[in-house]
Structure 1
Amino acid sequence: MPRLDDDTTGARIKEQRKLARLTQRQLADRIPYSYSLLNQVECGAKPANLDFVAAVAQALRADVTVLTGQPYVTELQQDRLAKLVRPIREALDLYDLGADDAIPEQPAAELVAAADQLCEQVRATRLRKAAKALPGTIAELTTAAWRTPSTELWQALASTYRTAHDISVKLGYYDLSAVALDRMDWAAQRASDPCLAAIRQYMRALAYFREGEYRIGQRLVAVGHGIVGGAEQTREAVAVTGQLHLGASVIAARADQQDAVDTHIAEAKRCAKQTGDASEVHWLSFGPTNVALHRMSAAVEMRQYDEALNQARKITLPTALATSRRAHFLIDKARSEMETGRTEAALSSIVDARHTAPEQTRYHPGARETIKGLVHISRRTPDTLGHLAAWIGL
């Protein structure tokens, strides 16, 4: 059986707790979890679920990444992804430098298509391919927008900044994702696009969701509703409104607010009835299927694992569903199966997630903790689980 070293989430929680001069009992009194669970997580007997980590991070006033160990640099270097981060960081710093004379003029339609292609690649979880192309596309769009400012070019530039955020989050570089969202706001203002501005607030809200600051996340969603609510109620605006409700539903679930979860899911469902499948709208994957997936995710966040599996059985994933959403579904399903003692099914779901989206799964903290949990539960580690454990660096 693979052996966990001291570089685990539980060990980091223990270290940060001691630095804060708190006993286990004192920390347990500050989080909505038992002393027994905290003890088991610290000693490595139980995995640290993301909601647990967020609660501990808030109690200790520490960044979530300090506890999860993100970014997972060793694995990123093995996958040759770490070296792609610096060019993205540099490209994000070009925003106020004006046009670059070294970059030739290109048709706006080609640049807009390149921005859309990056979004498509991220949804397909081709992270390396998107990360390689992103800096050049940002530089070209930045120059084009400064040379011949237009709504279309500013929108496309905002889209590339959004892609930078998405890649940064998936690879665990949350500091970089915050910079990307600031740049997205800068470009969205120049595009005068309320939908883009609302999407940016939605993404900011999810950042606070990861950190366990649920009230701030809810306030940001409310701001997003205010922005898009003041715009013409097109199909695009309704889809963005629905996505804001879906974000609010998982935030409310983490905050253990069942009534709010139900309200937001109902509102998102209403929006989805108006739009139908609106997956193409800003690459949000919004539509009836995404509403069902978020209903399941909310149950997972509220630790209603039997209900989550009940919801999972009702979901038929369409062929056209974004690979990133399909993998997220499988990771949620694996966690629920593990928590309800269905270890073989959980292993099968994680294997499916790996086959579906290897890069996303390898760097997803929830997937990694589920694999660690299965290692601890198993009396004899199957070869498949042993390979998975080695794959994530255990």
Structure 2
Amino acid sequence: MPSPDDDHTGTRIREQRRLARLTQRELANRIPYSYSLLNQVECGARPATADFVAAVAHALKVDVTTLTGQPYVTELQRDRLAELVRPIREALDLYDLGANPDLTARPAAQLVAAADRLCAEVRATHLRNAARALPGTIAELTHTAWATPSTELWRALASTYRTAHDITVKLGYYDLSAVALDRMAWAAERASDPCLGAVRQYMRALVYFREGEYTIGQRLVAAGHNVVAQAEESREALAVAGQLHLGGSVIAARADDVAAVVEHIGEARKIAKRIGDASDIHWLSFGPANVAMHRMSAAVEMGQYDNALKQARRIRLPASVATSRRAHFLIDQARTEMETGHTDAALEHLVQARKAAPEQTRYHPGARETIRGLVHTARRTPDTLNYMAAWVGL
């Protein structure tokens, strides 16, 4: 069995707790988790789940990334992904410079198509390809939108900013992802597109969900509903509203608001029944399958692992489900299998997630913590688990 290293979320929680001059008992009194669990996480005997980390970060008044160690720079450098982040950062800073007289851009129709292809690459989890193409596309769209403004071009530019957010979140650069969302709002306003504005509010809500600020997250979901209500009723507006309900369901689950979870899932299900699979709209993956996955995720977030496992085993994902969403579901299911003692099944689902989306899985905190948990609970570590642990850098 591999020896657990000293650089893990539990040790970082211990370091930050000591910097705050708190004992384990004092910190445990500030979070909705037991002293025993805190002790086990700090010593590495239990994985630090996303909800646990968010609660500790909130109590210690630090960013979640301070505790998770993101971005995972060593692995990113080894994979030659870290070098792709700086050009994205620079491209995001061009937004207010107007047209660039030294730039020759592709025709507008090609740029709009390029923005859409970037979204497709991210959903297919081809993060490296998307990250390489993104800065140039942002620069060309920025130039063209300023030179010959149109709703279509501003929408496409907002889409590239959304792609920048998606990539930087998946790689762990959360500070940069916040900048990308600000730029998305800026472009969406110029497009006068309430649906895009509502999508941005949905994504902002997930930022606060990750940070453990559930009240703010719920307010942002409500704000998103207010924004999308300004649009004419359409399949697009309904899909965005449905996705807002799904985001609201997992935020409510973390806040232990069961009634709100039931309400959000119920509303999303009604919309999905009405419009069917709408995964083509804003690349949100909205539809009946996504409603089922979010219902299962809400059970996971509420610690209802037996219920979540029953749901997960009943879900049959259609081929149309985006690879990124499929991998996220497999990681959630792996955590659920581990928490219910089905360690072999947990490992198998992690292997499936890796096969489907290697870049996304390697940098997913939930996958890494589940692998760590499996290492610590295994009496004898299978070669596959040894390989997975080494692969994510444990």
Query: Which residue number in structure 2 is paired with residue 284 of structure 1?
Result: 284
Letter in 1 for 2:187: A
Cα displacement (A) at 1:102: 1.8
Gaps (5+ residues) in structure 1? none
Counterpart in the other structure of 1:130: 130
What is the match of residue 302 of structure 2? 302
Alignment partner, residue 338 of structure 1: 338
Query: Which residue in 2 is equivalent to 1:231?
Result: 231
- RMSD across aligned C-alpha pairs, in angstroms? 0.6
1:3 and 2:30 matched = no
User: Tell me, what secondary structure is at the counterpart of 1:149?
Assistant: coil
Whole-Å separation in 2 of the counterparts to 1:284 and 1:127 = 17
Cα distance, 1:283 vs. partner?
A: 0.4
Displacement, 1:382?
A: 0.5
**In structure 1, distance between residues paired with 2:373 and 2:110:** 47
Structure 2: which 5+ residue stretches go unaligned? none
Q: Deviations over 1:67-103 (max 9, x none)?
A: 0000000000111000000000000000000111122
State, as a whole percentage, how many aligned pairs show the same letter.
77
Three-state SS of the structure 1 residue aligned to 2:385 is helix
Instruction: Name the counterpart of 2:141.
Output: 141
Provide the rounded CA distance (Å) in 2 between the counterparts of 1:106 and 1:54: 43
TM-score by length of 2: 0.99
Which residues of 2 match residues 1-394 of structure 1 at below 5 A?
1-394=1-394
| AA partner of residue 155 (structure 1) | R
Task: State the AA in 1 paired with 2:183.
Answer: R
Displacement of 1:52: 0.2
With structure 1 as the length reference, what TM-score do the two structures score? Answer: 0.99
Q: Partner of 1:282: helix, strand, or coil?
A: coil
For residue 276 of structure 1, what is the amino acid of its counterpart?
G
Q: Write the deviation string for residues 261-283 of structure 1: whole angstroms up to 9, x where unpaired.
A: 00000000111112110000000
The answer to which of 229-238 and 245-254 deviates more is: 229-238
* 1:221 partner amino acid: V
CA distance in 1: counterparts of 2:381 and 2:107, whole angstroms: 56
SS of equivalent residue, structure 1 residue 89: helix
My pick for the range that moved more, 245-254 or 307-316, is 307-316
Give the whole-Å Cα distance in 1 for the aligned partners of 2:3 and 2:103. Answer: 52
Q: Residue 341 of structure 1 aligns to a residue in which SS?
A: coil
CA displacement at 1:350 relative to structure 2 = 0.5
Residue 387 of structure 1 aligns with an amino acid whose one-letter code is Y
Paired residues, number: 394
CA distance in 1, matches of 2:241, 2:298: 18
Q: Which amino acid aligns with 1:202?
A: Y
Instruction: Give the secondary structure class of the aligned counterpart of 1:47.
Output: coil
Aligned-partner residue type, residue 379 of structure 1 = R
Q: Distance in 2 between matches of 1:140 and 1:4?
A: 47
- State the distance in 2 between where 1:9 and 1:88 align: 28
Distance 2:182 2:274 in 1: 31
Task: Return the letter of the residue paired with 1:386.
Answer: N
Q: Quick one: which amino acid aligns to residue 342 of structure 1?
A: H
Secondary structure of 1:94 counterpart: coil
Q: Tell me by how many angstroms 1:106 deviates.
A: 2.6
Counterpart secondary structure, 2:130: helix
- String of CA shifts for 1:206-263, please: whole Å, max 9, x gaps: 0000000000000011100001012211110000000000000000001111111000
2-structure distance, mates of 1:165, 1:214? 20
CA distance in 1, matches of 2:277, 2:385: 36
CA distance in 2, matches of 1:276, 1:103: 43
* 3-state SS of paired residue (1:286): coil
How far apart are 1:105 and its partner, in Å? 4.1
